[in-house]
């Protein structure tokens, strides 16, 4: 049987990283087996937002390079179908109408709590044959098994055995006829032909209920994989502040999709101690049975490290295209490749890379006060002036040639490297940051280098 997986978000307006990881695992499991990856929008409560949510999800999928198969399924459009199954279960005596009022339900709950019992429906209408009470619209409850265990093998957690007494005759349709969450999820997963359900372990306790539905309707039960949550670096629930934000924010923050996916795949899955995975490699290697049992921690340094790696590896044309969104357009710039070579290793994000490039392509209009104070003191002015003269004379064109001029001034003036390096750096870049000076000068060219040095000299008292 071909593998079918799905991603089934409740529409919240955007896709966040936790959701993207679940989607990625499901997508990879399908790709690995040349199966299908389906998308279902669970919008029974929020029908209004489903289109926007779908668009946000598809936009994020497109950015990271994941696609889904077939039409998007909307639960909000399947009420007739759910109704059919409710009627079927009623007709077969596998579900029943419960006329318990809110007050009765509250009283039952309080009584159970007073006895320190687990609160559960007591089945009082399960075999009811009398005349229904007046004025109460019934809910529909499914007949859950009353003894034995509900068992399934979870691909992550292992063997799960839940005592039947833990699952009461839960509501499958409310008094207004609306079907409930666990009922529709089970029906959809079955009808959509799911073979493997991969989802967050916050859903683990829904699974026995869904199995009750599968069994009542005679559906095949899929394999389940409940993935442990992503925690923050302190081991607590990941919040918005930690990075549980819209996937598209990562684009704005200058992350490459390949870095984000690589980061996410390692949150809960591993292959030996390998850290870097291309998408192709993930597809070949991913097996949901290898998903880790324990929860994983979001680690920003790791994400930055991966992003730096993918920026360094990216072909220049790709970076040139991406950088346009970050205020840098190197299209047609003859020095583009030299600029990128000088800066590529200094940007952990595209935002940082763009900043580094701007430092190179625009002369500093002011100098960072602290850097200037440190760099432009003592003989700095005189050293810079001699250095500019040397450059004018030698007219270096390569990184090596610029380096040689630096070595020469150090030798001739019997000074430490910092005595030229520091004032030169602040003259050219405005502060102590930036790429290697020889590389920077090679990119700027001798005229621009001298112009920036002279501008600095004029500023030094």
Q: Stretches 3-11, 168-176, 402-410, 419-427: which one binds ligand GLU (CB under 6 A)?
A: 3-11
Query: Which residue out of 240, 312, 370, 377 is catalytically annotated?
Result: 240
- What is the CA 94 to chain-centroid distance, rounded? 41
Quick one: which segment of 5-13, 278-286, 367-375, 452-460 binds ligand GLU (CB under 6 A)?
A: 5-13
x/- string (CB under 6 A) for ligand GLU, residues 314-353?
----------------------------------------
Minimum CB–partner distance for residue 222 and ligand GLU (Å): 11
Of the ranges 6-14, 69-77, 123-131, 431-439, which one interacts with ligand GLU (CB under 6 A)? 6-14
- In angstroms, give the least distance from the CB of 446 to ligand GLU: 60
Cβ 185 to ligand GLU, closest distance in Å?
5
Coil, strand, or helix at residue 160? strand
Shortest spacing between CB 253 and ligand GLU, in angstroms: 24
User: Are 394 and 412 spatial neighbours (Cβ–Cβ below 8 Å)?
Assistant: no
Judged by CB under 6 A, does residue 54 bind ligand GLU? no
In whole angstroms, what is the distance from residue 298 CA to residue 245 CA?
12
Q: In Å, what is the CA distance from 5 to each residue of 78, 132, 212, 437? A: 20, 43, 21, 53
**Minimum distance between the CB of residue 200 and ligand GLU, rounded to whole angstroms?**
6
CB closer to ligand GLU out of 46 and 90: 46
Taking CA atoms, 53 is separated from 19, 21, 73, 264, in Å, by 13, 17, 13, 21
Instruction: Write down the least CB distance from residue 10 to ligand GLU, Å.
Output: 4
Q: How many CB atoms lie within 10 A of CB 32?
A: 17
Strands 158-163 and 95-98: unpaired
Q: How far is the CB of 226 from ligand GLU (least distance, A)?
A: 10
Q: Is 459 left (phi over 0), alpha (psi -120 to 50) or beta?
A: alpha
State yes or no: residue 60 binds ligand GLU (CB under 6 A). Answer: no
Contact call for residue 9 and ligand GLU (CB under 6 A) = yes
What is the β-pairing status of strands 95-98 and 139-142?
Answer: antiparallel
Please identify, using beta-carbon distances, which residue of 31 and 50 lies nearer to ligand GLU: 50
Among 16, 68, 199, 419, contact with ligand GLU (rule: CB under 6 A): 199
Say how far apart CA 227 and CA 442 lie, in whole Å. 51
Provide Rg for the chain, Cα atoms: 32
The CA distance from 139 to 98, in Å, is: 5
- Could you say whether residue 391 binds ligand GLU (CB under 6 A)? no
The reply to whether 94 sits near ligand GLU by the rule CB under 6 A is no
Nearest Cα to Cα of residue 360 among 441, 446, 454: 441
Q: Which residue, among 448, 456, 439, 450, has the nearest Cα to 365 in the 3D structure?
A: 456
Q: Starting from the edge strand earliest in sequence, which strands make up the sheet with 196-200, in order? A: 158-163, 149-154, 223-227, 196-200
Neighbouring C-beta atoms of residue 458, cutoff 10 Å: 8
Give whichever of 201 and 448 is closer to ligand GLU, judged by the CB atom. 201
Which span (8-16, 255-263, 415-423, 430-438) binds ligand GLU, by CB under 6 A? 8-16
Here's the x/- map for ligand GLU, 158-187, by CB under 6 A: it reads as ---------------------------x--
144 vs 185 by CB, closer to ligand GLU: 185
Q: Is 209 in the site for ligand GLU (CB under 6 A)?
A: no
Tell me the residue number closest to ligand GLU, measured at CB: 199
List, in sequence order, every residue forming a beta bridge with 385; answer none if it has no partner.
none
Residue 240 annotated in active site = yes
Rounded to whole angstroms, how far apart are CA atoms 126 and 168?
Answer: 11
Structure tokens at 103: 């007050």
**CB of 42: closest distance to ligand GLU in angstroms?**
4
Q: Is 291 a residue that touches ligand GLU (CB under 6 A)?
A: no
CA separation for the pair 248, 24 (Å, rounded): 15
* Among residues 54, 59, 203, 271, the one that binds ligand GLU under rule CB under 6 A: 203
Out of 8, 29, 64, 139, the residue judged to bind ligand GLU by CB under 6 A:
8
Q: Which of residues 10-39 bind ligand GLU (CB under 6 A)?
A: 10
Which residues of the shown chain bind ligand GLU in the complex (CB under 6 A)?
8-10, 42, 185, 199, 203
- Please identify every residue annotated as catalytic: 240
């Amino acid at each position: 049987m071909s593998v079918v997986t799905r991603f089934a978000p409740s529409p919240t307006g955007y896709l966040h990283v936790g959701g993207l990881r679940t989607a990625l695992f499901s997508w990879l499991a399908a790709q690995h087996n040349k199966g299908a990856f389906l998308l279902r929008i669970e919008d029974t409560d929020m029908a209004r937002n489903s289109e926007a949510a779908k668009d946000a999800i598809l936009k994020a999928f497109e950015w990271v390079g994941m696609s889904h198969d077939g039409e998007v399924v909307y639960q909000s459009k399947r009420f007739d179908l759910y109704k059919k199954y409710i009627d079927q279960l009623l007709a077969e005596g596998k579900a029943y109408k419960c006329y318990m009022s809110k007050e009765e339900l509250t009283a039952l709950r309080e009584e159970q709590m007073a006895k320190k019992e687990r609160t559960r429906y007591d089945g009082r209408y399960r075999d009811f044959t009398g005349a229904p009470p007046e004025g109460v619209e019934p809910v529909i409850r499914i007949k859950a098994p009353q003894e034995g265990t509900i068992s399934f093998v979870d691909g992550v957690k292992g063997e799960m055995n839940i005592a039947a007494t833990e699952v009461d005759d839960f509501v499958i349709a409310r008094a207004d006829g609306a079907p409930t969450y666990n009922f529709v999820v089970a029906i959809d997963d079955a009808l959509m032909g799911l073979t493997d359900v991969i989802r967050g372990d916050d859903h683990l306790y829904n699974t026995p209920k869904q199995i009750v539905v599968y069994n009542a309707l005679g559906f095949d039960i899929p394999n389940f994989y409940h993935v442990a949550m992503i925690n923050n670096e302190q081991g607590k629930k990941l919040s918005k502040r930690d990075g549980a934000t819209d996937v598209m924010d990562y684009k704005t923050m200058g992350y490459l999709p390949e870095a984000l996916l690589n980061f996410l795949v390692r949150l809960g899955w591993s292959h030996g101690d390998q850290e870097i995975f291309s998408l192709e490699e993930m597809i070949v290697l991913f097996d949901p049975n290898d998903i880790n049992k324990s929860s994983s921690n979001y680690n920003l340094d790791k994400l930055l490290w991966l992003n730096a790696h993918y920026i360094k590896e990216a072909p220049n044309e790709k970076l040139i295209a991406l950088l346009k969104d970050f205020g840098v357009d190197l299209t047609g710039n003859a020095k583009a490749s030299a600029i990128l070579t000088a800066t590529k290793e200094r940007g952990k994000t595209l935002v940082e890379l763009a900043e580094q490039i701007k430092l190179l392509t625009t002369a500093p209009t002011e100098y960072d006060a602290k850097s200037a104070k440190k760099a432009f003191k003592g003989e700095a002015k005189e050293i810079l002036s001699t250095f500019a003269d040397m450059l004018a004379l030698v007219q270096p064109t390569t990184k090596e040639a610029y380096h040689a001029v630096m070595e020469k001034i150090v030798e001739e003036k019997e000074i430490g490297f910092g005595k030229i390096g520091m004032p030169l750096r602040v003259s050219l870049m405005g502060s102590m940051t930036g790429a290697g000076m020889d590389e920077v000068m090679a990119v700027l060219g001798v005229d621009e280098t001298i112009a920036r040095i002279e501008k600095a000299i004029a500023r030094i008292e």
